[in-house]
Amino acid sequence: MTIGVWILGDQLSATQAALQSCDRANTAVILIESLAHVRVRPYHRQKLVLVWSAMRHFAEELRAAHWQVTYVPAADDFVPVLDEWIRSHHLTELRVMQPADRPFARFIQTLQLPCSVTIIPNNQFLWSDSEFRQWASHRKRLLLEDFYREGRKRFGVLMQDGQPIGGVWNLDKENRKPPKQGLHPPQPLWIEPDAITQAVMEQVRQLDMPLYGNLEPFRWAVTRQQALQLLTDFINHRLPTFGPYEDAMVTGQDTLWHSLLSPYLNLGLLHPLEVIQAIEQAFTDRNLPLNSVEGCIRQVLGWREYMRGLYAYVDDDYPQRNWFNHHHPLPDFFWTGDTEMNCLRQVLDQVQRTGYAHHIQRLMILSNFALIAGISPQALENWFHAAFIDAYDWVMQPNVIGMGQFADGGILASKPYAASANYINTMSDYCKGCVYSPKARTGSNACPFNIFYWDFLIRHRAALTSQGRMSMILKNIDRFTLDEIVTIRQQAADWHHRLSTVQSIKSMLSDSAKTL
Ligand code: FAD
Ligand code: SF4
């Protein structure tokens, strides 16, 4: 036996390219369950359970399919483990599918191992890095809409005689309904933990290192079969109404009509093309509303592929970009959920309980607050990475640094996703249960989203003027009196003072608790 395949924790597919390139009778396979990354930053407890349980289940499935599999937990540096396995199996070549994350791809290239290493192109995305580069290289602006249309044509999705089905590419306008009356979405199917998952949960419970979020209830799928079950459940029960309330946020409704498929797509348990084709098939068979079907396909074929392509395309300094020069520290309440701002409290509580929030909660509550309050994009990205069940470098960088914080200066988004309480009050019921007034811009009960929003526009007015789509909004500032501007700026400064005082009191208390 001379060839070995090293399967990474987010490459859990029997059709992944490195496995596919080998003959199972003469190939050794290794999966390494590493603790090293948990030492670098805290993770959501359910994310650790999800990844490790899915890896253990996948190893079992490969064994059942007659692959020769070694599964090793590595408490510290995993390189000696890999080295030893290569020597003991007398391997002459190690094959690894190209990691989706750039830092890890670079790290693999620096490894000194006792055999040659072959990187096999990643087949878990629809667009390869070079195909995206080719699409992007002759364009002035890398617009999602153009990329998405190209994808529809290239993969023949929702197309008829070269034209989009229904005659239009985009039905977003039908998909922004506010939750005026109570919404009653069907509850998603959840999976109860089996013996393997329970063993991993016990291991995570015993870990003596800083972690985030609740361990239980853990109800995520951990095998491909379970993920397919959840895909079918989504298509049967939530896809028909996915569109209209895609942007709505409702207290106590964590998932609404969203698919909850990102963890499985990102682990390799589901392939994006099979998800898209299953949705399209349901459209054909059951005559589902086009706005829901197109809205969902746009997320997977458009946004997801665009984010991955862009991540691979941008310069190495992308993660460090900070176009607005924002440097405030991340408020402590992002970790504790302890804030009187009801929208933030609801969403942060949900993330702690589940590791999940849907797109608009991530973009227009969590990220929006950080943007208008001038928080460091890198501190925010670090928190997102720690807090979410589906977080990986490739998807986090463009979503947080690019889309959420506009820290790339507009490579990705055509204007910053900044909003006042008006948006949140329209698209959610959060403001009804809040101590602050969404209507007030100044005064003791004024919503901090209003104060920070106007302060953000005032502070960055010069820079934002160059962003064409901002000019209408900036004109509002011209109508403010000087007194109003001074008050807004003062209130924003007071809020920053309040946030940093809470932070320093908390760290003082925890320091004194440590010394007791
Ligand atoms: P649905 O609303 O049902 O959408 C279907 C699928 O489309 C998702 O499962 C996902 O695979 C894909 N998708 C939709 N939008 C995006 C997008 N912008 N980028 C990539 N894929 C997309 N997504 C992650 O997978 N991991 C992350 O760590 C992550 N962090 C985010 C951070 C911020 C600040 C923002 C604004 C977005 C982030 N997203 C991330 C994108 C998106 O919010 C999630 O993919 C989505 O909410 C997952 O829930 P769902 O499966 O129910 O999605
Ligand atoms: Fe959030 Fe402001 Fe509404 Fe309160 S009033 S829920 S802080 S937007």
pLDDT score at 257: 98
If we measure between CA atoms, which residue out of 121, 31, 115, 96 comes closest to residue 68?
A: 31
- Contact between 388 and 41 under an 8 Å Cβ cutoff? The reply is no
Nearest residue by C-alpha to atom 37 in ligand 1? 399
Task: Report pLDDT digits (tens) over 209-240.
Answer: 999 999 999 999 999 999 999 999 999 999 99
List of long-range contacts for 154-157, beta carbons under 8 Å, 24+ apart: 155/126, 155/273, 155/276, 155/301, 157/276, 157/280, 157/297, 157/301
Q: How far is the CA of 449 from the centre of ligand 2 (A)?
A: 7
Q: Rounded to an integer, what distance in angstroms lies between the CA atom of residue 120 and that of residue 465?
A: 46
Nearest residue by C-alpha to atom 28 in ligand 1? 391
- Contact between 30 and 6 under an 8 Å Cβ cutoff? The reply is yes
Nearest residue by C-alpha to atom 23 in ligand 1? 395
370 touches ligand 1 (CB under 6 Å): no
pLDDT score at 194: 98
Q: How far is the CA of 384 from the centre of ligand 1 (A)?
A: 12
Q: Which atom of ligand 2 is nearest to the CA of 344?
A: 1
If we measure between CA atoms, which residue out of 386, 380, 350, 382 comes closest to residue 368?
A: 380
- Contact between 366 and 347 under an 8 Å Cβ cutoff? The reply is yes
The residues, any chain, with a CB within 8 Å of residue 514's CB and separated by 6 or more, are: none
Q: How far is the CA of 257 from the centre of ligand 1 (A)?
A: 14
Peptide linkage before 217 cis (omega within 30 of 0): yes
pLDDT score at 76: 83
pLDDT score at 416: 96
Residue 375: C-alpha distances to residues 29, 179, 448 (Å) = 44, 30, 14
Mean residue pLDDT across the chain: 95
Nearest residue by C-alpha to atom 19 in ligand 1? 304
For residue 14, pLDDT beyond 90: yes
Kindly compute the dihedral angle of the four CA atoms of residues 20, 49, 358, 14, in this order, to the nearest 10 degrees: 10
Residue 382: Cβ within 10 Å count: 16
Task: Report pLDDT digits (tens) over 247-292.
Answer: 999 999 999 999 999 999 999 999 999 999 999 999 999 999 999 9
Rounded to the nearest angstrom, the gap between the alpha carbon of residue 99 and the centroid of all alpha carbons in its chain is 17
pLDDT score at 504: 61
For residue 241, pLDDT beyond 80: yes
Q: In terms of pTM, does the model score above 0.85?
A: yes
pLDDT band at 501 (very low <50, low <70, confident <90, very high): confident
Task: Give the residue ranges of DSSP H helices in 15-115.
Answer: 17-20, 36-40, 45-64, 79-88, 102-110
Q: How far is the CA of 505 from the centre of ligand 2 (A)?
A: 25
364 touches ligand 1 (CB under 6 Å): no
If we measure between CA atoms, which residue out of 210, 254, 222, 260 comes closest to residue 239?
A: 260
If we measure between CA atoms, which residue out of 160, 189, 194, 173 comes closest to residue 60?
A: 194
For residue 513, pLDDT beyond 70: no
If we measure between CA atoms, which residue out of 439, 487, 124 comes closest to residue 312?
A: 124
Q: Which atom of ligand 1 is nearest to the CA of 300?
A: 7
- Residues having CB closer than 6 A to ligand 2 are 341-343, 421, 424-425, 430-431, 434, 436, 438, 447-449
Task: Report pLDDT digits (tens) over 338-388.
Answer: 999 999 999 999 999 999 999 999 999 999 999 999 999 999 999 999 999
124 touches ligand 1 (CB under 6 Å): no
Task: Report pLDDT digits (tens) over 103-119.
Answer: 999 999 999 999 999 99
Task: Report pLDDT digits (tens) over 127-146.
Answer: 999 999 999 999 999 999 99
Q: Which atom of ligand 1 is nearest to the CA of 400?
A: 34
259 touches ligand 1 (CB under 6 Å): yes
Task: Give the residue ranges of DSSP H helices in 388-420.
Answer: 393-396
pLDDT score at 1: 59
Task: Report pLDDT digits (tens) over 302-322.
Answer: 999 999 999 999 999 999 999
Q: Which atom of ligand 1 is nearest to the CA of 266?
A: 25
pLDDT score at 75: 84
300 touches ligand 1 (CB under 6 Å): yes
For residue 514, pLDDT beyond 50: no
Task: Report pLDDT digits (tens) over 415-440.
Answer: 999 999 999 999 999 999 899 999 99
Q: How far is the CA of 438 from the centre of ligand 2 (A)?
A: 6
Q: How far is the CA of 432 from the centre of ligand 2 (A)?
A: 8
What letter represents residue 333's amino acid?
F
Q: Which atom of ligand 2 is nearest to the CA of 450?
A: 2
Count how many residues are written for the chain. 516
